[in-house]
Amino acid sequence: MKKPELLAPAGDLEKLKMAVIYGADAVYLGGEQFGLRKASKNFGIDEIKEGVEFAHSRGKKVYVTMNIVPHNEDLIGLEDYVMELYELKVDGVIVSDPGIFSVIRRTVPDLPIHLSTQASVTNYETIMFWYDLGIRRVVLARELSLEEIEEIIEKIPEDLEIETFVHGAMCISYSGRCLLSNYMAGRDANRGDCAHPCRWKYNLVEEKRPGEFFPVFEDEKGTFIFNSKDLCMIEHIPSLIRAGIKSFKIEGRVKSSYYVATVIRSYRMAIDEFFKAPENYTFNKDWIDEIKKASHRDFTTGFYFGKPTEEDQVYTSSSYIRGYDYVGLILDYDKKSKMATIEQRNRIFSGDEVEIFGPRIEHFTQTIEKMWDEKGQEIDVAPHPQQIIRMKIEEPVEPWYIIRKSREDRTDG
């Protein structure tokens, strides 16, 4: 068995670096054109260059999404853009549209192309169609069972890689090809501007009774009839590896860098632990408990073990479960004085009990006794976004370690 690639989302440069540091083998990002996530900051050419250099210097890969469903005007500038990506030495691009695929093959034939989940691939004959055109990695539709995935892998060439989503938000529409946002909000999901109407609250209205709203589900608040739980397959890592899936993809380019670090770290630990001794592997509940400390919905296994039922939907709220706040990022640490320099991310108070963790260590707990600002003045609270503060941390830490605080313990209520 070959260790699968752990593929992380990178919504901006900090998230890219966080993903690499916390254990991702590769990241995928969107440029300022041709991608499906306008809500994330996305990358200019100079940022892609910096991201590629950062990842490559650590032996990691960078893929760029170009998976919109384009109209004529969306093709303008495509050749120049892919030439720039090729010159920056990105490791591949992710596409769904045959037209964009054709332009890339014609312009930079050596640039690896991955077929996006937006292409809705659900069978080996479709995969072979794309294989004959030059595709060597396919991101399968999320509507496939593990049994179907195993059959596909058995029937395709060994040099064709299969990538599947293993964690993150689920789309209610087939492989993300959705018109609901365009119809209801005038925002085209297939061109990167989804308004996420699947998370909205719905009621039933009878044509001759305008203004009378009847709950579709027996609840006075209405219902979130399209609202799926989040995918989480960390408990099933051995089955995914043994199936022959080559890349485990984490969803979440619009999620926080804290989310990326937390989720990637747990999957990294689970995968590495399995390969230490596959026959003696035991799932560690701490891994999923750590994931739950990042913002999330309840979890589902999606289509992997059969079609989802009402148990895989959330009928009460579209809100995320958020038990912890990301309050600080370690910038520097002096071992002699045990003094850490920290960039604040949410308000921190003297007296707070916080948890601190890094990519290769278990978290530990500490109470903040004193804090100082950049001028060396003692402070009781760090209220300003990205404020630079200093405090003593008893256990050794390193840059990129994260400080979080339970929302139940918030000093500011």
pLDDT, mean of residues 295-306? 88
At CA 113, angle to CA 111 and CA 119, rounded to 5? 160
pLDDT at 411 over 70: no
β-bridge partners, 48: none
Predicted TM-score of the model (pTM):
0.86
Q: How confident is the model at residue 412 (pLDDT cuts 50, 70, 90)?
A: very low
Q: Domain 324-409 belongs to what topology?
A: Elongation Factor Tu (Ef-tu); domain 3 (2.40.30)
Cα distance from N-terminal residue to C-terminal residue, the chain: 50
User: What pLDDT shows up at residue 218?
Assistant: 42
pLDDT at 222 over 50: no
pLDDT tens digits for range 25-39: 999 999 887 765 555
Least confident window among 51-65, 86-100, 284-298: 284-298
pLDDT at 319 over 80: no
Residue with tokens 């909205």: 200
5-173+227-312 — its CATH code? 3.20.20.70
pLDDT tens digits for range 66-77: 988 888 988 999
pLDDT, mean of residues 190-210? 72
Residue with tokens 């995969």: 127
Count Cβ atoms within 10 A of the Cβ of residue 115 and give its class: 0-12 exposed, 13-18 middle, 19 or more buried. buried
Is residue 268 classed as helix, strand or coil in its secondary structure?
Answer: helix
Label residues 32-49 b or e (16+ Cβ within 10 Å = b). eebbbbbebbbbeeebbb
Count Cβ atoms within 10 A of the Cβ of residue 2 and give its class: 0-12 exposed, 13-18 middle, 19 or more buried. exposed
Q: How many CB atoms lie within 10 A of CB 59?
A: 8
Cα 164 from Cα 178, distance rounded (Å): 19
pLDDT at 230 over 60: yes
User: What pLDDT shows up at residue 67?
Assistant: 87
Q: How confident is the model at residue 100 (pLDDT cuts 50, 70, 90)?
A: very high
pLDDT at 248 over 80: yes
- Sequence ranges of the domains in the chain: 5-173+227-312, 324-409
On average, the pLDDT of the chain sits at 89
pLDDT, mean of residues 332-359? 96
Residue, of 318 and 407, whose pLDDT is higher? 407
Chain-centre distance for alpha carbon 280: 29
| Highest-pLDDT range among 89-93, 115-119, 303-307 | 89-93
Instruction: For CA atoms 194, 199, 201, 203, give the dihedral sign.
Output: positive
pLDDT tens digits for range 131-157: 999 999 999 999 899 999 999 999 999
